Chain A
């Protein structure tokens, strides 16, 4: 394990945990401490959690700086991340969050499906599996599959279970 390789990421995780703890500690100042009969008020657990997170974060950082995490199991998969595919899947998820209320559940999910499949498929192609990505036919096919999954799910939840999901129209079918 080289000095700046995996342990850099490990150290960053430690810093991240510490920062979360610190932010929570700052938040804990704003929580009143009136305790009543209990002796501890609503700010007790926030303080405990934030202090423990800061301690753990510092400890994680220390482990990272002194030879890396102890007893770690090597993560599965390749050593380097495939960020290109990751961007596609992320785009799918975030587009879904942005569009679901305007274009409705079915279309938004179908779009998310197309983008995610595209990312995952290009990851496979990059990993050595011969698959074509991004041809128009492929995209149309994926869109149909996404629609074929999302639509029945939508109908089942809205019609059968009366759970509110947003539609493009108010007909309840799309």
Chain B
């Protein structure tokens, strides 16, 4: 069987000692950034992007992917023990897991989170293995008009549908698009918005924007507004699940996986929606609802954690087969591919088959590593929570400098980094979402190129988007995601 052979070849590549080491380091770094508040997988991958200039593509993609899903494991530890989610996908875990920890069941919560992540991650990887090549085969037939519509869909969902305000989402999206405009136009080679500064001809680095927006702004926000906030840490109890814990967790893991997976594959940005959905499902199905929100119900941790991991793994499908990122970190992974001159898309499975299959194989291996890193060794990671906040944030600034300076060796970039950090503070203070900025910046130039190619195909006529069945369908979906939620809201309010 072709698929099987490919996967085995992937394992052969991923299991070389060097690649195993990259995978392990990635998983460990991922767990650490997941545990540490103030730094997430998107920032960590962005800071480490300079390694793409030296390390070969397969190794660094295995490394980055390890950070990406490793952070999901680590994030739950912080949520359960501190009640501040390590990253957004573990917000629900923070609610229920923290309640469990407060009633002395931290160990069980940590165990169900880690094993649930493993179960979901592995099932989702199997699904990726089966479906990604199928989708790629189909996606080869898509032309520029369809790609443009897909990207438009990604823009719409990330800015207008998610988040509390369409307006603020749009401001963020167009800011991202504006940043993406700086530099050389892909099609005509025309310089735009460079103001004669030679550094700007290559455009603004993703590292710079992601690190500024997530890391530097975090430190600036903390010093401005969050001085003196103390967190109480819950006590770690032995990481162990009783027979009844297992019985209650299993179905929740599986349900969570199947809720989370589809959400990762569509451009709906991240894992907040599936985790909340999974939580609501578990609450509804539970025989004894009294534990939810009081003592903490184990299903309320097991389900959302599984959903979170399944969604994260599933984001690799649109990323690898269509080249469309559906989360912040996926957007930065796309940037990493671009640094190698590789454009993810349906051809990737042919042109870079070895890389893709090694990456997929590394997901299986990484999940096993993470289970070991997070269950027996959880006590080690918890020590990271003892780092005093000032040292943590100041330390993050050092890593931010490495990432940004290492990419282009330009001190000018460090000033820009500060400016973008300030922008991030304003955005956070006034509740503007940041994901649309990153997605807009990375996907903007690609979408523009696809749009202009599509118009070339249509000899300059915009009707080209309406003449092809697939692109019309996508346009209808875009209108639907814009209109339907609003209609539903109107109906429910009056």
The SS class assigned to the A binding surface is helix
- Closest CB in chain B relative to A114 CB, distance in Å: 8
Chain A residue, CB-CB nearest to B429: A75
Assembly CA distance A27 to B182 (angstroms): 11
Report the separation of the CA atoms of residues A69 and B430 in the bound assembly, to the nearest whole angstrom.
Answer: 9
- Contact partners of B300 in chain A: CB under 8 A: none
Q: A149 — which chain B residues lie within 8 A by C-beta? A: 395, 398
Please name all residues of chain A whose beta carbon is closer than 8 Å to the beta carbon of B421 when the two chains form the complex: 93
A173 within 8 A of B: no
In the complex, A35→B453 CA distance in Å? 11
Contact B397 A97 (CB under 8 A): no
B226 at interface, CB cutoff 8 A = yes
A123 and B222: CB pair below 8 A?
yes
* A170 interface residue per 8 A CB criterion: no
Contact A53 B174 (CB under 8 A): yes
Residues of B in contact, count (CB < 8 Å):
71
Complex alpha-carbon distance, A86 and B216, angstroms: 12
- The listed residue (A70, A76, A85, A113) touching B223 by CB distance below 8 A is A85
Question: Of the candidates A37, A42, A123, A125, which one forms a contact with B460 in the assembled complex, judged by CB atoms under 8 Å apart?
Answer: A37
Cross-interface CB contact of B192 among A46, A72, A166, cutoff 8 Å: A46
Whose C-beta in chain B lies nearest to the C-beta of A64? B430
| A146 lies within 8 A of chain B by Cβ | yes
Instruction: Name the contact of A96 in the complex, choosing from B55, B391, B401, B452 (C-beta under 8 A).
Output: B401
The answer to whether A123 touches B190 (Cβ under 8 A) is no
CA distance A108 to B397 in the complex (A): 12
Asked if A169 CB lies within 8 Å of chain B CBs, one says no
Residues of chain B lying within 8 A (CB to CB) of residue A41 = 188
Contact flag A78-B226 (CB < 8 Å), given A13-B426, A42-B188, A163-B406: yes
Q: Are B406 and A109 in contact (CB under 8 A)?
A: no
Is B228 at the interface (CB under 8 A from chain A)?
yes
Chain B 171-191 interface residues, beta-carbon cutoff 8 Å to A = 171, 174-175, 177-178, 181, 185, 187-188, 190
Write out the residue numbers on chain A whose beta carbons fall within 8 Å of the beta carbon of B165: 69-72
* Interchain CB contact under 8 A, A49 and B174: yes
**A39 interfacial contact with B, CB 8 Å:** yes
Shortest B22–chain A CB gap in Å is 12
Contact of B430 among A10, A46, A53, A70 (CB under 8 A): A10
Stretch at the interface among B288-296, B307-315, B362-370, B410-418: B410-418
Chain B contacts for A128, CB-based, 8 A: 228
Is A2 an interface residue when CB atoms closer than 8 A count as contact?
Answer: no
Let me know if A140 is at the binding interface, CB within 8 A.
Answer: no
Whether the pair A97, B177 counts as a contact (CB closer than 8 A) is no
Interface residues of A in 27-70 (CB under 8 A from B): 27, 31-32, 34-42, 44-46, 49-50, 52-53, 56-57, 59-60, 63, 69-70
Inter-chain contact B394/A120, CB cutoff 8 Å: yes
Q: Tell yes or no: A9 within 8 A of B by CB.
A: yes
**Nearest opposing residue in chain A for B189, CB measure:** A42
Q: How far is the CA of A5 from the CA of B262 in the complex (A)?
A: 43
Q: Select A161's contact among B54, B225, B451, B455, beta carbons within 8 Å.
A: B54
Residue A162 CB within 8 A of the other chain:
yes
Q: Which residues from chain B contact A49 at a C-beta distance below 8 Å?
A: 174, 177-178, 181
12 contacts between A and B (CB under 8 A): A46-B193, A50-B178, A77-B225, A81-B224, A89-B223, A105-B401, A112-B397, A116-B390, A117-B391, A117-B394, A120-B227, A129-B227
10 further A-B contacts with Cβ under 8 Å, apart from A120-B389, A125-B228, are: A9-B430, A38-B452, A45-B448, A50-B178, A53-B178, A77-B224, A85-B223, A93-B417, A119-B223, A129-B227
Chain B interface (Cβ < 8 Å from any Cβ of A): 50-51, 53-55, 164-165, 167-168, 170-171, 174-175, 177-178, 181, 185, 187-188, 190, 192-193, 216, 219-230, 389-391, 393-395, 397-399, 401-402, 405-406, 409, 411, 414-415, 417-418, 421, 426, 428-431, 444, 448, 451-453, 455-456, 459-462
Pick the 6 closest A-B CB pairs, nearest first: A127-B228, A39-B460, A123-B227, A77-B225, A97-B414, A127-B227
